[in-house]
Structures are given as C-alpha cells and as structure tokens.
C-alpha cells in the first residue's frame, strides 16, 4: 500500500474564474474538500463610505489538498463551479510544499508591522532574501525604499507577484543580482 489516505494528499494550485475564489472556497467547504484561500485586508473607498474587505492574496488562485490519484476527488474538484483548471508544469499538476502553505498562513495571520530599522545598503531592483519572520527563506525584488520596504515576491507556483511590507532588518541582499529596469 502506498500509504494512508492522508499521506497521499498533497497541496495543489487551482486557477479559478476571475473573482470566483471565495465561491470556489465555499463550494469546497460544502463538499468537504480541504482548501486554502489566503486573504488580506484591503480598504475599499466608495463615494459614500469606506470599508475593510478581505481580498484574495493571489487573484484567481486557490490551494486544494487532495489525493490526485483519487479520480473521483480529482473530478469533483475540476467540476466545481468557478474552477478553470489545475496549474500545471509539463502536463502535471503543480504540487505545493506544506512548508510554503504554512509560511503563507503564518504571514496571513502574523499581523507583522513595519517599524523603523537601521538603514542598509539596499537599492531598488536588488534581489533580496527574507531572513526573518513568517516569510523567511523567500526571495523577491526590492521595489520601494523608505521607512517601509515593499518587496515583490514572485511565487513561481502561482506565477503572480505579491507585494508585502517587511521590516528593513528582515532583508538580506543577494550579491551580484540586480534588476535595472523600472518596476
């Protein structure tokens, strides 16, 4: 036997119809399919009011935890309204490591704030590694300097850029790498 049912489960990335991420998540919840939709708070401003809303961290993507070898489960996921397809590389659905899912969860729930830190010799366009905090071990491109630094994190799995604020002290420059174009 290839392991217990839980041992055969892996995280995969699904591409959804635009603005269907929450509907897909709710459908999976009703079907008993384990999924994860990372959210971030965003202030929306209308002419008559302001409101904080939960928006997907990765637009049009959701993570699903299934046994890809279980054809019924695989088919149920694909037939869910709003699901377009599995994200694939070389015709194989992309597996996402548990550690990456956990890092994203920690970042989502960390409430990390940005405080003034000592100035470092970093420049816009530098490739940096996050060496502390819940996103430790991820790489990105520095796109803004100031009291806060915005780091563009390109998660290859979802092929989408995400901007996150991290304290200056969390960054380490990767020597010899620099993007010299306007971001």
Instruction: List the CATH number of the domain containing 18.
Output: 3.30.70.940
CATH classification of the domain holding 142 = 2.30.30.30
User: How much is the pLDDT for 154?
Assistant: 53
Give the least confident one: 29-38, 55-64, 74-83, 122-131.
Answer: 122-131
Q: Residue 79 belongs to what domain range?
A: 10-96
Domain presence at residue 5: no
Domain presence at residue 145: yes
- Residue predicted with more confidence, 81 or 148: 81
User: How much is the pLDDT for 117?
Assistant: 35
pLDDT at 183 over 50: no
130/165 Cα distance (integer angstroms): 11
Domain presence at residue 101: no
37/146 Cα distance (integer angstroms): 31
Domain presence at residue 39: yes
152/161 Cα distance (integer angstroms): 6
Instruction: Over range 62-81, report the average pLDDT.
Output: 96
pLDDT tens track for 26-37: 999 999 999 999
Give the least confident one: 15-29, 35-49, 137-151.
Answer: 137-151
pTM: 0.65
- Residue predicted with more confidence, 131 or 72: 72
pLDDT tens track for 124-181: 788 888 887 778 888 888 877 765 555 655 555 566 677 777 777 777 888 766 555 4
68/44 Cα distance (integer angstroms): 38
178/40 Cα distance (integer angstroms): 29
User: How much is the pLDDT for 60?
Assistant: 94
Please name the residue that has the structure tokens 């420049």. Answer: 123
Q: Based on the structure, what is the number of domains in the chain?
A: 2
User: How much is the pLDDT for 147?
Assistant: 55
């Amino acid at each position: 036997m290839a392991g217990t049912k839980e041992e055969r489960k892996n995280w995969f990335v699904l591409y959804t119809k635009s603005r269907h991420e929450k509907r897909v998540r709710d459908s999976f919840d009703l079907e008993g399919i384990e999924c994860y939709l990372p959210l971030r708070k965003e202030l929306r401003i209308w002419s008559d009011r302001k409101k904080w809303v939960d928006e997907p961290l990765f637009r049009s993507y959701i993570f699903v935890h299934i046994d890809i070898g279980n054809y019924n489960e695989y088919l149920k996921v694909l037939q869910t309204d709003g699901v377009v397809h599995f994200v694939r590389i070389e015709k194989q659905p992309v597996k996402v490591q548990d550690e990456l899912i956990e890092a994203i969860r920690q970042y989502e729930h960390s409430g990390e704030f940005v405080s003034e830190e000592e100035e470092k010799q970093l420049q816009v366009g530098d490739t940096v590694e996050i060496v502390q905090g819940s996103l430790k071990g991820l790489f990105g491109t520095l796109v803004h300097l100031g009291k806060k630094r915005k780091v563009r994190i390109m998660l290859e799995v979802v092929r989408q850029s995400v901007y996150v604020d991290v304290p200056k002290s969390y960054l380490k420059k990767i020597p010899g790498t620099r993007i010299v174009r306007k971001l």
